[in-house]
Chains A and B, each alone.
Chain A
Amino acid sequence: MDLHILWFVILGALLAGYAILDGFDLGVGILHPLARTDRERRLFLNAIGPLWDGNEVWLVTFGGALFAMFPEAYATIFSGFYLAFMVLLFALIARAVSIEFRGKMHAEGWRRFWDWTFFGSSLTATVIFGVGVGNAIGGVPLDERGAYIGTLSDLLHPYALLIGLLPAALFAMHGAIYLFLKTSGGVQERLGRWMWHTWGLFLFLYLVATILTLLRYPHAATNFQRHPWAVIGIILNLLAITNIPRALFRQRYAEAFLCSSITIACMVFLFAMALYPNMLVASNDADRSWTIVNAASSEKTLRIGLLIAGIGMPFVLAYTGIVYWTFRGKVKTEEAGY
């Protein structure tokens, strides 16, 4: 397979891995205000306590791989969306420290402050990811060197904002199912209702986003005409989304979680198909777009990167497996934790 395509696929896999794994803990953050007592809030935090940090490493590795393999795309996106990335960074910092600091003191005010910080930062980070995707699908203006020439307000158009809400609903659903699996009793009953609410919200946003995308950016669908096999991704996506309520109804919650994970992976796939063969579309002049070929590092570097990933990824999957296996089952607040 062509090295550029291969790396495009690997980046997609890293992004999907990130979205599935960090997706549920971001979702837990978005649902955090639903916890009614301090015990419930600690339960929520303990459910993701050992896992969220490792999940975020997928984002860090995605960023590192983008830098190494497609430096031009990395440079243009990160510098072009400067203030958006700064807000994202502040959100990620705030999120990390709110999880870590919250439990360190007893004072009510202290805990409330970090609770709201955790909620606000989780929601902000998720929406920014979505707005970024919305802009990538629409394309942004680039100069001859391939650098961004718009302003921040150009990035905040209604379509992008709508796409920003989509992962918020999706991750909230994903997080609700995850929390349902990890809890029991009264809080679990409430989460059971929220799984349905968030599913409904997500479905609504998904349909609106699909229609708007097809109307505004018909080019996003051209790859499906060129490569008809890719329709499998759409079918799988629809099956997974519709199977979630079925699985919930039959009380097969692990199956529902699997389906929401597949849904996320399919969304990343659809996003990649909307972009390919571009990394970033220039909305003002198609010749300035960063394609997977002209944004890429040299072939030698792509090959070295492949070797690094080939050696490293089996280990990564092994650690991830060990950690998730160790912390399987329901959480309690009595354990070492927050």
Chain B
Amino acid sequence: MDVVFLSRLQFALTIMFHYLFPPLTIGMAVVMVFLEARFLRTRDPIYEQAARFWTSIFALNFAVGVATGIVMEFEFGTNWAAYSRFVGDVFGSALAAEGIFAFFLESGFLALLVFGWDRVGPRMHFFSTLMVSLGSIFSSIWIVVANSWQQTPAGHHIVQMQRDGQPWFVNGEPVLRAEITDFWQLVFNPSTVHRLVHVWIGAFIMGTFFIMSVSAWYLLKRRHITFAERSFEGALLLGTIFSLGAAVSGHFQGQNVYRHQPAKMAAFEALYHTGPAPLTLFGIPDDDERRVKAEIAFPGGTSLLVKGDLKAPLLGLDAFRPEDRPPVFIPFVSYHVMAILGVFFIGLTLLACFFRVKGSLFQKRWLLWIFVVSVLGAVAANELGWTAAEVGRQPWVVVPPVLRGPDGEPVVGPDGFVRYETVRIPMARERAALQSALFAPPAGLRTKDAVSESVSAEEVLTSIILFGLIYLLLGAVWVFVLNHKIQTGPLALEPGGRNLREVVTARADHRQSLTEAKGP
């Protein structure tokens, strides 16, 4: 096993574990803002009860999210040093902006949110919830900006590094890196907005499905009925809107992917050959035979969605040099399962809305059971969407833009392959004759050239094993504690609708703590 494979494996492991938490917290924070706003307006203690309960669960998810998130920032340097040298000027700025604009906001106000119930007034508490929610959204903006720049780079140029005022060569090769030319073009690169909207919707779906899952479980167990019904209804409304929104946003994103990363779209749909592209509902891509086996497909469907024409030819993998082709199996499967889950969410939420209007939703026990487990589908859809996006980006870590002709269409070279933009580096005079002929690299960076120079396979293997063990333990403890919190449930309201704060104070076993069940 080589360093590249192992480093990719480690990044996949750590990011996929980390990404269980951010969408959950982004999604839950929005619901908490809603609940506290309702409380401020109506002063109905049921809303404060709900807000307190979800806040304590939010805090747990947030803590694990922070602990696993710091790993990500460090891993660019530890495992992807060559990448960091190449992109630091551009990518680093987005990451630093995330730290300054998002993390301080989140962590500061989280303290007031979790520990401040008795220290600040309800208005300040609401403001803190709003700020935490805003912070988590800011964080997603900057990280999606940074990632989108890798997919569809813009606002930069690739130049030779200077060393002591001279162009820098190592072993006769110029040392290249990307440098910012236009910050706003970098921020609003061609895929940022589409991807950000889709990421947000994914997060909101996850948050609302999580709340519906827990609420449905309470309803099935006939506990905390009023609380659970209110939470479920609120989350259902938002969940339905976001599920429908995901389909719309996914459609536009698909078109954008084809426009800017046609090789990725070919991998998503397993288009081995250029031509009219079917919309595959089921199939098993076979790289050796270069076709999709056991295919159930709507002919011309993808062409219709992307180009608005059943017969429009789309670029297949055969339009790219073998060394520029992404793998097919993982992007194809993860993309399709994500899309199928998206359709499932729409069907499920619309059905629940239908029963809600008829007034029989909470009697449909089978449907509530489906909601209890559907949160796993939401988690899977979020993870798989990213898997498709990142594996479909291969073999590049920074994808070079496709070279376009005057008509805006990709330029196909005499060998029949799509051309990428290349870098022209003015050579130092004495090297010009030697180098210029052989050096016009693509305006991107291959994943295999991005790993750390000074890290060995054994070291990465060691850290993967340790991460694996620690995350396994962490995941198990997280589920255990989460389950314990859910079993304990929200603080009960006493009949007569006393202020929750008085109720809490009166209960000796709980004191005023929400993050801990204290003993007698």
**Candidates A77, A148, A301, A320; contact of B179 at CB < 8 Å:** A301
State the CA gap A103–B511 with chains docked (Å). Answer: 14
Which residues of chain B are within 8 angstroms of A208 by Cβ–Cβ distance?
none
B120 close to A64 (CB less than 8 A): no
The yes or no answer to A67 lying at the interface (CB within 8 A) is yes
- Give the residue name and chain of the B residue nearest to A114 (CB): B477
A92 close to B96 (CB less than 8 A): no
The yes or no answer to B73 lying at the interface (CB within 8 A) is yes
Of the candidates A60, A149, A327, the one having the most CB atoms from chain B within 10 angstroms of its own CB is: A60
A336 close to B515 (CB less than 8 A): yes
The yes or no answer to A319 lying at the interface (CB within 8 A) is yes
A305 close to B96 (CB less than 8 A): yes
A312 close to B100 (CB less than 8 A): yes
Within 8 A of B (CB), among A283-338: 294, 297-298, 300-301, 304-305, 308-309, 312-313, 315-316, 319-320, 322-323, 326-327, 334-338
**Candidates B82, B104, B108; contact of A75 at CB < 8 Å:** B82
State the CA gap A57–B66 with chains docked (Å). Answer: 9
- Give the residue name and chain of the B residue nearest to A148 (CB): B454
Within 8 A of A (CB), among B415-460: 452-455, 459
B68 close to A93 (CB less than 8 A): yes
Stretch binding the partner chain, chosen from A81-89, A166-174, A250-258:
A81-89
A326 close to B459 (CB less than 8 A): no
A71 close to B179 (CB less than 8 A): no
The yes or no answer to B412 lying at the interface (CB within 8 A) is no
Which residues of chain A are within 8 angstroms of B73 by Cβ–Cβ distance?
60, 63-64, 67
The yes or no answer to B171 lying at the interface (CB within 8 A) is yes
- Give the residue name and chain of the A residue nearest to B512 (CB): A336
State the CA gap A69–B109 with chains docked (Å). Answer: 28
B100 close to A309 (CB less than 8 A): yes
What is the size, in residues, of chain B's interface with A at 8 Å between Cβ atoms? 82
The yes or no answer to A96 lying at the interface (CB within 8 A) is yes
B484 close to A78 (CB less than 8 A): no
Minimum C-beta distance from B514 to chain A (A): 6
Minimum C-beta distance from A337 to chain B (A): 6
- Decide: A147 near B453, CB < 8 A? Known: A82-B459, A93-B470, A320-B108: yes
Within 8 A of A (CB), among B491-520: 511-517, 519
The yes or no answer to A44 lying at the interface (CB within 8 A) is no
Which residues of chain A are within 8 angstroms of B91 by Cβ–Cβ distance?
67
Which residues of chain B are within 8 angstroms of A320 by Cβ–Cβ distance?
104, 108
B455 close to A82 (CB less than 8 A): yes
B454 close to A144 (CB less than 8 A): no
Which residues of chain A are within 8 angstroms of B115 by Cβ–Cβ distance?
49-50, 327, 335-337
**Candidates B92, B109, B175; contact of A145 at CB < 8 Å:** B175
**Candidates B111, B180, B466; contact of A327 at CB < 8 Å:** B111
B88 close to A71 (CB less than 8 A): yes
- Give the residue name and chain of the A residue nearest to B71 (CB): A89
The yes or no answer to A53 lying at the interface (CB within 8 A) is yes
Which residues of chain A are within 8 angstroms of B474 by Cβ–Cβ distance?
93, 97
The yes or no answer to B304 lying at the interface (CB within 8 A) is no
The yes or no answer to A227 lying at the interface (CB within 8 A) is no
What is the size, in residues, of chain A's interface with B at 8 Å between Cβ atoms? 75
State the CA gap A74–B87 with chains docked (Å). Answer: 12
A61 close to B117 (CB less than 8 A): no
- Decide: A308 near B111, CB < 8 A? Known: A79-B453, A336-B117: no
B513 close to A323 (CB less than 8 A): no
State the CA gap A275–B171 with chains docked (Å). Answer: 28
B107 close to A68 (CB less than 8 A): no
- Give the residue name and chain of the A residue nearest to B79 (CB): A79
The yes or no answer to A104 lying at the interface (CB within 8 A) is yes
State the CA gap A336–B88 with chains docked (Å). Answer: 42
B99 close to A64 (CB less than 8 A): yes
A96 close to B66 (CB less than 8 A): yes
- Decide: A83 near B462, CB < 8 A? Known: A61-B104, A298-B179, A323-B111: yes
A335 close to B454 (CB less than 8 A): no
B74 close to A85 (CB less than 8 A): yes
A61 close to B100 (CB less than 8 A): yes
The yes or no answer to B98 lying at the interface (CB within 8 A) is yes
The yes or no answer to A143 lying at the interface (CB within 8 A) is yes
Which residues of chain A are within 8 angstroms of B87 by Cβ–Cβ distance?
71
The yes or no answer to A175 lying at the interface (CB within 8 A) is no
A96 close to B67 (CB less than 8 A): yes
Which residues of chain A are within 8 angstroms of B452 by Cβ–Cβ distance?
75, 79, 82, 147
A64 close to B459 (CB less than 8 A): no
- Give the residue name and chain of the B residue nearest to A144 (CB): B170
Which residues of chain B are within 8 angstroms of A308 by Cβ–Cβ distance?
93, 96-97, 100-101
A53 close to B76 (CB less than 8 A): no
- Decide: A79 near B454, CB < 8 A? Known: A300-B179, A335-B118: yes
Which residues of chain A are within 8 angstroms of B33 by Cβ–Cβ distance?
none
A297 close to B89 (CB less than 8 A): yes
A65 close to B179 (CB less than 8 A): no
- Decide: A304 near B453, CB < 8 A? Known: A54-B108, A326-B119, A337-B513: no
A300 close to B180 (CB less than 8 A): yes
- Decide: A61 near B454, CB < 8 A? Known: A78-B77, A92-B67: no
- Decide: A61 near B515, CB < 8 A? Known: A50-B115, A315-B104: no
Binary per-residue interface labels of chain B (364-391) against chain A in the complex, 1 for a CB within 8 Å, 0 otherwise: 0000000000000000000000000000
The yes or no answer to B163 lying at the interface (CB within 8 A) is yes
Which residues of chain A are within 8 angstroms of B120 by Cβ–Cβ distance?
326
Minimum C-beta distance from A299 to chain B (A): 9
Which residues of chain A are within 8 angstroms of B109 by Cβ–Cβ distance?
319, 323
A149 close to B63 (CB less than 8 A): no
The yes or no answer to B323 lying at the interface (CB within 8 A) is no
B453 close to A145 (CB less than 8 A): yes
Binary per-residue interface labels of chain B (256-276) against chain A in the complex, 1 for a CB within 8 Å, 0 otherwise: 000000000000000000000
**Candidates B64, B70, B97, B515; contact of A97 at CB < 8 Å:** B64
The yes or no answer to B193 lying at the interface (CB within 8 A) is no
Which residues of chain A are within 8 angstroms of B108 by Cβ–Cβ distance?
54, 316, 319-320, 322-323
Which residues of chain B are within 8 angstroms of A145 by Cβ–Cβ distance?
170, 175, 453
State the CA gap A101–B76 with chains docked (Å). Answer: 28
A336 close to B114 (CB less than 8 A): yes
Which residues of chain A are within 8 angstroms of B111 by Cβ–Cβ distance?
49-51, 53-54, 323, 326-327
20 contacts between A and B (CB under 8 A): A54-B111, A57-B107, A61-B103, A63-B74, A64-B98, A68-B92, A78-B81, A79-B454, A80-B454, A86-B462, A86-B463, A96-B63, A97-B477, A147-B81, A147-B453, A297-B92, A300-B180, A320-B108, A335-B512, A336-B512
6 further A-B contacts with Cβ under 8 Å, apart from A143-B454, A308-B100, A336-B512, are A77-B77, A79-B78, A301-B90, A301-B179, A319-B105, A337-B513
Closest 3 A/B residue pairs (Cβ): A71-B88, A78-B77, A68-B92
Using a CB–CB distance below 8 Å, which chain A residues touch chain B? 49-51, 53-54, 56-57, 59-61, 63-65, 67-72, 74-80, 82-83, 85-86, 88-90, 92-94, 96-97, 99-101, 103-106, 143-145, 147-149, 294, 297-298, 300-301, 304-305, 308-309, 312-313, 315-316, 319-320, 322-323, 326-327, 334-338
